[in-house]
Amino acid sequence: MCGIVGYIGKDNAKDIIIDGLKKLEYRGYDSAGIAIVRDGKLEIKKHVGGIANLENLIGDDPMTSHIGIGHTRWATHGAPSDLNAHPHGSQDGKIAIIHNGIIENYHELKEELIREHNIKFKSETDSEVIAQLIGVIYQEKKDLLESVFAAVDRMRGAYAIVAIAEDEPDKIVAVRKDAPLIVGLGKGSNFVASDIPALLKYVKEIYLIENNETVLLTSEKVTIFDENREEINREVFHVTWDADAAEKEGYEHFMLKEIYEQPKGLSETLNRRLDENGKINLEGITLTKAEIEKFSKIYIVACGTAYHAGLVGKYIIEKLVRVPVEVDVASEFRYRDPLVDENTLFIAISQSGETLDTLAALREAKSKGARVLSVVNVVGSSVARESDDVFYTWAGPEIAVASTKAYTTQLMCMYMLALYMGLEKGTIDRDYYDQFIRDLQKMPEKLEEFLKKASQIEDEAKQLYNREQVFFIGRGLDSAVSYEGSLKLKEISYINSFAIAAGELKHGTIALMEPGTLVIALACQDFLYEKMVSNIQEIKARGAYVMAIAKDGNESIAKHSDKMIYIPECRDEITPLISVVPLQLFAYYVAKERGCNIDKPKNLAKSVTVE
């Protein structure tokens, strides 16, 4: 996920592009760059870090030009660096492109460009392949539009690409396939961008570009071509939102937007590593069968929400790989002289990859000889760089402090790792594996369906938002999810919430149950369902008010509960992918009713880089 902006017109392109990129930093912020044509020469300036770093690099240079393209990056292929930043240029310096998405066949195109055209690549990105390919074609065709058409015919993947050419400084060409692209219509100026917020200050009239369409922009005219390269007409879309609403794509808060992005995050995280036979492809991870068999112990270490993903990871890895797994919070692990040796696999989980406690625990484990694998969302982050292997989540940038889509994509990685290791080690057979993968593949759609019930959860939140304390209970995997539900509620609504394994209640905590005490009870594990019903009866007998979460079809629990939320039927092991979502939504709507600052809760930061 990256942000892209292009401009052609009577004003200075650089100022408009930098301004637009700042509005898109929520799409990615690990490096940024700009390309213009000044006095007949194509110039590219780019820098690792946010837009501020790019502005420092540009300094007082006005970069006077009426045409330009700019990019803010969220790394996928290649760590954040000056060289991997966009725009990318062709070898002869005549073409510059920016790209959002993935070129699936970049490897074969790259080999061909090296072999047949002696291209020397400067970056590790798939995107540079686009610049070089267009550059080679352009040498023959001498026409940017025709060259982009020809290049796109060779590419597979998902992309929004914007290209300019030194020898045609009067045009921009953009193309879209499965990545957002819009065109802004000005007077004597036209714009292209990945998202509306980049352009709102300048235009309110937009063309929404569809898949497989190509756009040719001059300062006076915008022409759209369909997949057969025929010119087509497009209705103008009049934007009525303000800039803030547009960044959130119409959602009131980033947290809600990110909750709704979970089906996409799950599907990306799963499908990017599945081959056509349903086999998990751990490209970039060098764990061999012999190494997997050698591990006598696995540690999963993380903080906060990522730690809660680790609790699910322990359950599933122990079940499928039959090796003991210990889960620890990073700030504890590093100070307790843990039993780590060269037969230990250490798994660090971190959305940001910059959490100091997690990083320090990782270093501690590494120094004792452990093999370090991390599950990270931010490409090229410190945790990723210091690990032997990285399993990236494909959540995209998470802006809200309360983690939602990072958690569910971390869970997906846990399932995939467990399945991969289990199959390699022979602790699960191919039939079990195939069925599990098929079940995982159904989850994005099931979650999409479940999200349609959000209004029911909003109604419950409106009635329950003023409770002073809330308990979350569950057994097995439901207990792991309870911890995450409780954290979500306390961090954004400031309600004192507490999670406990349901079977443990009677050993002390049940003393706190009084008439009206709100208990959120997860009963999504079929094999523990009857036990959960008994635990609910115990607290109902003390007057608790119970909101239960169960799978569709398990209706008998309704008799013992005050409120019910049903999640779609799915195998027990993967219910956390959905059962956490009503808890996220409940926390969100309760915090909203209480008037809290949802995306930036008090006392918290998105990335905790202190001890």
Active-site residues, by number, are: 2, 606
Give the range of 61-69, 154-162, 400-408, 463-471 binding ligand M6R by CB under 6 A.
Answer: 400-408
Taking residue 319's Cβ as centre, other Cβ atoms within 10 Å add up to 14
Give the range of 83-91, 264-272, 401-409, 473-481 binding ligand M6R by CB under 6 A.
Answer: 401-409
Position 146: which residue type?
Answer: E
**CB neighbour burial string for 409-418, b if at least 16 within 10 angstroms, e if fewer:** bbbbbbbbbb
In whole angstroms, how close is the CB of 378 to ligand M6R at the nearest point? 8
Bridge partners (DSSP) of residue 163 are: 97, 173
Distance of CA 501 to the CA centre of its chain: 30
* Residue 499 engages ligand M6R in binding (rule: CB under 6 A): no
Q: Residue 355: phi, psi to the nearest 5?
A: -65, 120
Instruction: For ligand M6R, give the closer residue by CB, 274 or 329.
Output: 329
- Residue from 305, 382, 479, 486 that binds ligand M6R (CB under 6 A)? 305
Instruction: For ligand M6R, give the closer residue by CB, 274 or 360.
Output: 360
In whole angstroms, how close is the CB of 46 to ligand M6R at the nearest point? 26
Taking residue 553's Cβ as centre, other Cβ atoms within 10 Å add up to 10
Query: Residues 65 to 84: which contact ligand M6R by CB under 6 A?
Result: none
Instruction: For ligand M6R, give the closer residue by CB, 72 or 403.
Output: 403
In whole angstroms, how close is the CB of 398 to ligand M6R at the nearest point? 8
- Residue from 98, 148, 306, 489 that binds ligand M6R (CB under 6 A)? 306
Instruction: For ligand M6R, give the closer residue by CB, 128 or 398.
Output: 398
* Residue 587 engages ligand M6R in binding (rule: CB under 6 A): no
* Residue 608 engages ligand M6R in binding (rule: CB under 6 A): yes
Q: Are strands 95-103 and 88-89 parallel, antiparallel or unpaired?
A: antiparallel
Give the range of 285-293, 301-309, 542-550, 575-583 binding ligand M6R by CB under 6 A.
Answer: 301-309
Query: Residues 325 to 384: which contact ligand M6R by CB under 6 A?
Result: 350-352, 355, 358
Q: Which residue is nearest to ligand M6R (CB)?
A: 304
Q: In what order do the strands lie in the sheet with 95-103?
A: 88-89, 95-103, 157-165, 168-177, 213-217, 222-225, 231-232
In whole angstroms, how close is the CB of 208 to ligand M6R at the nearest point? 33
Nearest to 409 by CA among 287, 268, 606, 256: 268
Tell me the Cα Rg of the chain.
26
Total chain residues near ligand M6R (CB under 6 A): 16
- Residue from 6, 70, 304, 576 that binds ligand M6R (CB under 6 A)? 304
- Residue from 206, 301, 402, 536 that binds ligand M6R (CB under 6 A)? 402
Taking residue 552's Cβ as centre, other Cβ atoms within 10 Å add up to 11
Q: What is the DSSP letter of 34?
A: E
CA 7, 13, 16, 18 torsion-angle sign: positive
- Bond from prior residue into 87 cis (ω within 30 degrees of 0): yes
- Which residues here bind ligand M6R, judged by CB under 6 A? 303-306, 350-352, 355, 358, 401-403, 487, 491, 607-608
